[in-house]
Amino acid sequence: MFDSCKFVWNQALGRWSDLWRHEHLSFSYKDMDAELTDWRSRFEWLAASPSVPHQQVLRDLSRSISAFFDKKNPASRPSFKKRRDLFATARGPRTASKSPELDWG
């Protein structure tokens, strides 16, 4: 799953870089999500993994790109993920849930 998330990040970042550099066009989360649908239809191994982590990766990249252009809080340019880079993608729900094993007293 982590390799597929790196693939999605790098593909979307490459697409954004090309569009921005050559055509000065933005690449929004909505555009990235449409590309993800296309990638999942073309790559069987990508379609075999869950789509939610891929969507989270695209949201993270979209936030990184926005931060890069933010004049008040400038961040560095988003970078491509290498094979050795750790990639945190899976996040749990934001709501606390009661676990049957725990005694909440």
21-68 pLDDT, tens digit each? 999 888 899 999 999 999 999 999 999 999 999 999 999 999 999 998
How much is the pTM?
Answer: 0.75
52 Cα distance to chain centroid: 10
Q: Given this model, what pLDDT does residue 90 score? A: 52
| C-alpha span between 12 and 58 (Å, rounded) | 7
Q: Do 80 and 13 form a contact (C-beta atoms < 8 A)?
A: yes
Select the more confidently predicted residue: 71 or 44.
44
Domain range list for the chain? 2-69
- In angstroms, how far is CA 8 from the centroid of its own chain? 7
What is the DSSP code (8-state) at residue 83? Answer: T
Q: Please answer whether residues 65 and 16 qualify as being in contact, where contact means their C-beta atoms are separated by less than 8 angstroms.
A: yes
